[in-house]
Amino acid sequence: MMRIGIARSLTDSVSGGVFQYEMVLLKALGEIAAGYPEELVYLCYHGNDVATLAKTGGLNYRGLPIVPLGMPTPQQQPPEAYIRQKPATPPPFDPTQVKFNEAGADLMRQTGTDLLLILSPNLPGFSYRMPFIVPVFDLNHRLQPEFPEVSAFGEANGREYFYINTCRFATFILVDSEVGKSDLLRFYGDYIDEDRIRILRYYPPIDGRSPPSQQQLDSARTKYNLPLRYFFYPAQFWPHKNHALILQAIKLIADATGEAVPVVFCGAYWTYTMALNFRDIMEQAAKLGIADRVRYLGTIPDSDMAALYSLSAGLVMPTFFGPTNIPPLEAWHLGRPVITSDIPGIREQCGDAGLLVDPRSAEALAEAMKRVWYDAGLCTELVRRGKKRLAAYSWSAFIGGLTAVLTEACNRVRTGHTPKYPDANQAPALRQRA
């Protein structure tokens, strides 16, 4: 029997899509574990990890659920507090020169781990000198390097280091679409070929989530002092999320029709880049004279998200990044129409179940928002198409796909059909002690 070690990043429930992705994978692995011929173990390496999983219902002790008390959501500071903490840019380095974590590798061997499954692309699995599987969400530092979150302060260099060496040494890389696979081969085809790439289409975090009750809807409207009608955009305040285009569209709608269309934002700005962007967005709303139509709720408990979607006129998401995103799937599940970006990946994900617009055109976005705001028949049709598209996402197929990847990876480890690491004794310059 082989031992598959499962590791995740130290994200929590207010960290957005990465956390949701990890939780879906953990739920699937929990269902697989009981009947799987190999041993699956969760590798917990930090006390915060235990606290976060317990908080979200992801832990129990011998079948007894753990319900933590007194674990408040971290309080976000005013944006100036983060803007004052401008990061330094580290000196550039050769991303092909891998640094192995020999102490970490020793620890992995002591746990008896044969294969490492990393739940999101935040841990350098290659540093442990062992076979590993990891998902890759996007390569936007190559596709759209103009955005500082993927390029500034040494980020591009760090990402190159991660992706080059991940492609060199991974047993399998998981992508969620044909576009994701094509991008990986386009940029890193010198380090990986199709033989080590597997498409595992993402399953949205909707399994077992019922629409909110009327009481929950009324409670959310009161709690957040929501407008009677509004567009909804749940997103961290990274520049690529393109909040500014929504403000421009709202101004155009007001100028053309006199209609004051509100938008509700939620999400964090916990870094220098995000805080700077948040401040700019709020200043822009004031300059456009629409500040009264922009409601920012901060970070929102996951338990309130369904109500915020359900009370909205629809999701508006003019992001520049794909290839796929979670909010359109959540909106479809809760019967809300979707407006999002006409870019590769998202086009594949949404098809005709959303209004797709150029994320550089405020005029196109304003037109789509007007159509959703005024045309109830169109909204009904978009919701119908969304539900139909969502029905193609099968939990059993996701479980089956993940199981197949694990089984194939185990077979490759047994037969030695995995990338070879340089010998530790012959490559002292590449070694790094923890």
The one-digit pLDDT tens for each residue of the chain (434 residues) are 999 999 988 666 555 778 888 888 998 998 999 899 999 998 887 767 777 777 777 777 777 877 777 656 668 899 999 999 999 999 999 999 999 999 988 988 899 999 999 999 988 999 999 999 999 999 999 999 999 999 999 999 999 999 999 999 999 999 988 989 999 999 999 999 999 999 998 888 776 678 999 999 999 999 999 999 999 999 999 999 999 999 999 999 999 999 999 999 999 999 999 999 999 999 999 999 999 999 999 988 888 999 999 999 999 999 999 888 889 999 999 999 999 999 988 988 899 999 999 999 999 999 999 999 999 999 999 999 999 999 888 889 999 999 999 999 999 999 999 999 998 655 443 333 33
Helix (H, G, I), strand (E, B) or coil at 100: strand
d(CA 229, CA 19) in angstroms, rounded, equals 29
- Give the pLDDT score at 11: 67
- DSSP state, residue 334: T
- Give the pLDDT score at 301: 85
- Give the pLDDT score at 73: 63
Best CA proximity match to 244, nearest among 282, 187, 191: 282
Best CA proximity match to 44, nearest among 7, 4, 2, 12: 7
- Give the pLDDT score at 161: 97
- DSSP state, residue 292: G
Sign of CA dihedral 381, 295, 14, 147: positive
Q: How far is CA 318 from CA 166, 295, 328, in A?
A: 30, 17, 11
- Give the pLDDT score at 17: 77
- Give the pLDDT score at 126: 95
- Give the pLDDT score at 428: 40
Which residue is associated with the tokens 């305040």?
237
Strands 64-65 and 60-61: antiparallel
Q: What token pair was written down for 103? A: 């102490």
Give Cα 395 distance to the centre of its chain: 19
- DSSP state, residue 102: H
Is residue 411 packed enough to be buried (19+ CB in 10 Å), middle (13-18) or exposed (0-12)? exposed
Q: What token pair was written down for 205? A: 């975090």
Domains in the chain: ranges and CATH: 3-203+394-432 (3.40.50.2000), 214-390 (3.40.50.2000)
Kindly report the pTM of this predicted structure: 0.89
